[in-house]
Amino acid sequence: MMTRLETTQISGIIANASLDDLRMIRTMLSNRQDMLGFENKISLQVGMKVKVNHPRLAGMDLFINKINRTKATVSLKSGTVFVVPLSLIESI
């Protein structure tokens, strides 16, 4: 996690950035988000017990059924199935 000082410094940089700089920053953020999703994806396996960072699925014990390129199919023991982005899945 970033400290409050780091967040304030980043806000200052963004406030003074040109349009081209902001586009470059957006690209860098997107690339970093993709890398974190990929790192998360390779740590997941079918059958693994996970939790999902979403209010609708908070506190539920879910199991991975299938892992696709950007999303995974997870289910409850009762059989209810959800399709969830990989970036929201956290291993327990």
| Same-domain status, 15 and 53 | no
| Same-domain status, 49 and 92 | yes
Cβ–Cβ contacts within 10 Å for residue 50, how many? 20
Instruction: Give the per-residue pLDDT at 40.
Output: 87
Instruction: Count how many domains the chain has.
Output: 2
Distance of CA 10 to the CA centre of its chain: 21
| Same-domain status, 38 and 49 | no
Residues in the chain: 92
Name 84's Cβ contacts closer than 8 Å, sequence gap at least 6.
52, 54, 57, 71, 72, 73, 74
| Same-domain status, 37 and 60 | no
pTM flag (> 0.95): no
Residue 66 structural domain: 44-92
41-80 pLDDT, tens digit per residue, is 899 999 999 999 999 999 898 999 999 988 999 999 999 9
